[in-house]
Amino acid sequence: LITREPVGVVAVVTPWNFPLTLSAWKIAPALAVGCTVVHKPADLTPLTAVRIAELALEAGIPAGVLNVLPGRGSVVGKGLGLHRAVDSLAFTGSTEVGRAYMEYAAQSNLKRVWLELGGKSPNIILPDAPDLQTAIETAAWGIFFNTGQMCTAPSRLIVHRDVADEVIAGVLAAAKTYQPGDPFDPSTKMGPLASSSRRAEVQAHVDAALKDGSKLELGGKSIDLPGVLAGGAYYEPTVFVDVAPDSSLAQNEVFGPVLAITMVKDDDEAIRVANNSDYGLAAGLWTANVSKVHRLSRQIRAGTVWVNCYEEGDLTVPFGGFKMSGNGRDKSRHAMEKYTELKTTYVKL
């Protein structure tokens, strides 16, 4: 017999940028296959997880099956990583912290560690894009949505030189419409960063890009807004052009509203630049040529490739990354498999 059994106790550690969605992606499949869960939410957003636990009790899930343990990562997160009663740990967050969880597993019981980590996603626009204006608008939306605080944000825009002038002009025009404002105002297109420390980190990346010689075309500094918004971690939509593929801005995840634009001469160079990264979470590709779609999407080293669109999704398809963007997959039946153990049983009758 070949069977799958629940792995046991699963620790789920989630970030602050999409606290409800990312928690559900991990908690639901773990519970569905029969595991118990200890959930440590980000210290900035613990109440979402507490409410999930309350709803779980109301729905009839027995006490002790889904547990929420708020606290600092350096204390609670590390404790879960080292705890020998934890059989598996699923984490979404930075690559640096993901490394730490693998070390904790090695120092304790070699628990399974599933990681969905950072990204520096390339978005390639070729001259034969079916709708260049849509590609431009999507490029701007992708990097400024959620103030750039998204692991799949298309933070590297790779543009063929034949359409570079039009694309850059269009992106700059679109970027100017994402001026920071009150997140409770329906007309606001971009709110603040998550914290003042997060804003300081974004500024440090921008300063490093300027030292590297990247050309700042728009933004590049924080904004102080009046009234009740005073003190918020607001930052301008920021666009750099002529960004070298090996520069700090092209290589490091900023996790903010900062776009790096690099121009290329042909498809092959576009793929080389796209794959010139330690990350491999997602990518975008804009072309109307079906042959190119198949050839180039295979060559891109990323867990998800969006063609002539970006950020499309469905719970029935897996999500996760290559390289230092992590291992394993969330969503789909593949997410359920990682919370189980395979067992082979021989029976002699």
Which residues are known to be catalytic?
A: 116, 151
- Three-state DSSP at 341 gives strand
CA dihedral 205, 310, 312, 237 (to 10 degrees): 40
CB within 8 Å of 312: residues ≥ 6 apart: 306
> For the chain, how big is the Rg over CA atoms in Å?
22
Single out the residue of 347, 349, 345 nearest to residue 3, CA to CA: 345
Q: Collect contacts of 21-27 with beta carbons under 8 A, ≥24 apart.
A: 22/92, 22/330, 23/48, 23/49, 23/52, 24/52, 25/319, 25/330, 25/331, 25/335, 26/90, 26/92, 26/330, 26/335, 27/52, 27/66
**Residues of 252-289 as b/e, b for ≥16 C-beta within 10 angstroms?**
bbbbbbbbbbbbbeebebbbebbbebebbbbbbbbbee
Count the helices and strands in the chain (H runs, E runs).
11, 18
- Cα separation values, 326 from 99, 111, 165, 278, Å: 10, 16, 35, 11
Single out the residue of 227, 240, 153, 230 nearest to residue 192, CA to CA: 230
Structure tokens given for 184: 């409770």
CB within 8 Å of 130: residues ≥ 6 apart: 286, 287, 288, 308
Q: In angstroms, rounded to a whole number, what is the distance separating the alpha carbons of residues 78 and 295?
A: 43
